[in-house]
Amino acid sequence: MRFNDTLLLAFRTVRSNALRTALTVAIIAFGIMALIGIITAIKAMNQKFSESFSNMGANAFSIRYKEQNIRIGGGSRELTVSKKQTKKEKKSNLDRKITKEEAEYFVNHYHFPAAIAGLSIFGTRNNIVSFGNKKTSPNVMLFGGDEKYLDLNGYKLLNGRNMTQSEIQSVQNVCIIGYDIAKKFFNEAVDKAIGKIILINSRSYRIIGVLESRGSTFGFSRDNMIIVGYKNVAKDFSNNNSYVIAVKVDNINNLNQAMGEAEALFRGVRKIGITEESNFVLDKSDSIAEQAMNSLGFLTISATVIGLITLIGAAIGLMNIMLVSVSERTKEVGLIKAIGGKSSVVKRQFLLEAIIISVLGAVFGILLGILVGNSFALVLNTGFVVPWGWVIYGIVICTLVGLLAGLYPAVKAGKLNPIEALRYE
């Protein structure tokens, strides 16, 4: 019997046992769905991390007093990059935040070719903004920056203009608002916000620009914010936050050299001795996203374990079903052997049936997994994600599962004595 004939016979047999096939396919599909679904969701989270934390681009870095902490999964894992401490260092020096004077000195004296340097400070996150008889919830974030802040942080203006150096240095009460705030006060006509006076915690500020919408990250809007001059933060909004310095170079190949020169200059600004560790951190703009994505590795491992456990159960179920099929079709096997069919043909047919069922389970599981994973991507507002590598792995794994599960029943069927098989009732 030719291989094509054996394959067609296997298909007909699988189709004739629809209920049994459907149950086995469902078990296999569930395991693959869990695996592919979680992997797809993780890829969507990776995209969101990249968008959220790499706004400046790959050719930029920042200088911070200390690293931000990122908690994933209810605080069970904490991604932290912290300063190394030595017993020789003085605690007072180690804990000293970056001051306005230090940040300004660096920006004015950092002269790396074709590099842009700017400073900023985070104000507070519980501000109330009001216009007329409307006001926001007390959850508006306030940032202070210079005239380079928008460029260095990847913001784009939808309407209006950027702050000028003279406005910042003279501490004028001008601001740039996020899209959510403009929409709340002016509905869809956000261009009407330009020139209007709003109150930020009872302090009057004139709107000169509206930012383009940047969507949300994990349910938190990135458009519910206001940018003012960094000197205005010190004047009108009391806080004890550290200043942050951002630097962008024109060529990514010059990034490491630019970081080296920046560290050398800022160590001098901070008056750090030769033998002392730096009490500040240099971050590439995409380093936080990269570290956050690496921290999601445990989810990939969990998904793999869940999928494999389910597939082991499916393999056992498939083997039992194939053994039942051998018992039910003993006469059929005897007839095939009586008309000259070889044991290898019988084995091949049962193996092909097991593989067909497994691959069908893989196909349905992959489709369902991609849909489930991309429903999570829809919540995060990312693009459609297909983990092609894991799709191929899923098909290969299910093929192996079918091969291994069908091996023993196929061997058992191939060893049947044709005379006894024909007499089997």
Residue 294 CB burial class (10 angstroms; 0-12, 13-18, ≥19) = exposed
**Given a cut of 60, is residue 365 above it in pLDDT?**
yes
331 and 382 share one domain? yes
User: Is the Cβ–Cβ distance between 63 and 282 less than 8 Å?
Assistant: yes
List the end-to-end C-alpha distance of the chain, in Å, as a whole number: 26
Tell me the percentage of the chain whose pLDDT exceeds 90: 35
Judged by average pLDDT, the poorest of 191-195, 200-204, 323-327 is 323-327
157 and 135 share one domain? yes
Average pLDDT, the chain: 81
Give the pLDDT band (50/70/90) at residue 424: low
**Given a cut of 80, is residue 172 above it in pLDDT?**
yes
340 and 413 share one domain? yes
264 and 115 share one domain? yes
Question: Which residues lie closer than 8 Å to 30 by C-beta, 6 or more apart?
Answer: 310, 314, 365
Q: Where are the alpha helices (DSSP H) in 87-208?
A: 91-94, 100-109, 149-152, 165-169, 179-186
Residue span of the structural domain in which 71 resides = 58-119+246-285
Residue listed under structure tokens 């909004």: 237
412 and 326 share one domain? yes
17 and 128 share one domain? no
Give me the helix-helix angle, 255-269 and 100-109, nearest 10°: 130
18 and 160 share one domain? no
How many other C-beta atoms are found inside a 10 Å radius of the C-beta of residue 316? 12
> What whole-number distance in Å separates Cα of residue 116 and Cα of residue 107?
9
**From the centroid of its chain, how far is CA 101?**
37
Long-range Cβ pairs for the range 51-54 (8 Å, 24+) = 51/217, 51/382, 52/217, 52/222, 52/289, 53/285, 53/286, 53/288, 53/289, 53/292, 54/285, 54/286, 54/289
Between these two residues, 239 and 119, which has the higher pLDDT value? Answer: 119
Q: Which residues share a beta bridge with 175? A: 207, 228
73 and 104 share one domain? yes
Q: Minimal CA–CA distance to 314: which of 227, 417, 397, 212?
A: 397
110 and 251 share one domain? yes
Q: pTM to 2 decimals?
A: 0.59
